[in-house]
Amino acid sequence: MSEYIDYDMRRAYCSTTISKTSSLLNKPCYNLNEPRDRSKALMDLKDRIGASIDFAFKDKSCLQDDEFLYRFLFAKKLNVDEAFQLLINYHNYRTKNPEVFDNISTMTETVQLCLKDGFPGVLSERDRRGRKVLVYFASNWNHTSYSLMSVYKATIITLDKLLEDKQNQANGFVVIVDWTNFTFRQSSHLNPKILKLMIEGLEDCYPVRFKGIHFVGQSWYVEAALILIKTTLKEKTRKKIRMHGTNLSTLHESVAKDILPTELGGDGPALNNENWYNTLMESMKAHENFDNIINGNY
Mean pLDDT of the chain: 86
Helix ranges (H only) for the chain are 35-51, 66-75, 80-96, 98-101, 109-116, 148-162, 166-171, 184-187, 192-200, 220-230, 235-238, 248-254, 274-286, 290-294
Residue 184, domain extent: 109-282
Q: Do the beta carbons of residue 33 and residue 12 sit within 8 Å?
A: yes
85 and 115 assigned to the same domain: no
The domain that contains 77 carries what CATH number? Answer: 1.10.8.20
The answer to whether residue 3 sits within a structural domain is no
What would the pLDDT profile of 246-290 be if each residue is shown by its tens digit? 999 999 999 999 999 999 999 999 999 889 999 998 887 776 655
Q: Do the beta carbons of residue 139 and residue 182 sit within 8 Å?
A: yes
85 and 197 assigned to the same domain: no
The answer to whether residue 248 sits within a structural domain is yes
pLDDT of residue 295: 58
41 and 151 assigned to the same domain: no
Domain end among 101, 131, 156 = 101
pLDDT of residue 111: 96
Residue 214 parent element (H or E): strand 210-216
Q: Please report the sign of the dihedral spanned by the C-alpha atoms of residue 206, residue 100, residue 113, residue 285.
A: positive
Amino acid at site 267: D
Higher pLDDT residue, 60 or 235? 235
Give the pLDDT mean for 220-237.
90
The whole-angstrom separation of Cα 175 and Cα 249 is 17
Cα 205 → chain centroid:
11
The whole-angstrom separation of Cα 114 and Cα 150 is 7
3-state helix, strand, coil in the chain (%, to 5): 50, 10, 40
Domain count, the chain: 2
146 and 273 assigned to the same domain: yes
Cα 63 → chain centroid:
23
What would the pLDDT profile of 122-156 be if each residue is shown by its tens digit? 999 999 999 999 999 999 999 999 999 999 999 99
95 and 114 assigned to the same domain: no
The whole-angstrom separation of Cα 250 and Cα 253 is 5
138 and 237 assigned to the same domain: yes
Task: Report the share of the chain in percent with pLDDT over 70.
Answer: 84
Q: Do the beta carbons of residue 237 and residue 202 sit within 8 Å?
A: no
Q: Three-state SS string across 133-154, please? A: EEEEEHHHCCCCCCCHHHHHHH
Q: Do the beta carbons of residue 261 and residue 268 sit within 8 Å?
A: yes
The whole-angstrom separation of Cα 35 and Cα 262 is 40
152 and 58 assigned to the same domain: no
263 and 126 assigned to the same domain: yes
The answer to whether residue 8 sits within a structural domain is no
Q: In DSSP terms, which residues pair with 213 in a beta bridge?
A: 175, 241
Cα 98 → chain centroid:
19
Going by C-beta distance under 8 Å and a sequence separation of 6 or more, which residues neighbour residue 181? 139, 217
233 and 156 assigned to the same domain: yes
Mean pLDDT lowest for which of 68-72, 110-114, 189-193, 290-294? 290-294
Q: Do the beta carbons of residue 32 and residue 15 sit within 8 Å?
A: yes
Q: What is the DSSP letter of 132?
A: E
Q: Do the beta carbons of residue 236 and residue 156 sit within 8 Å?
A: no
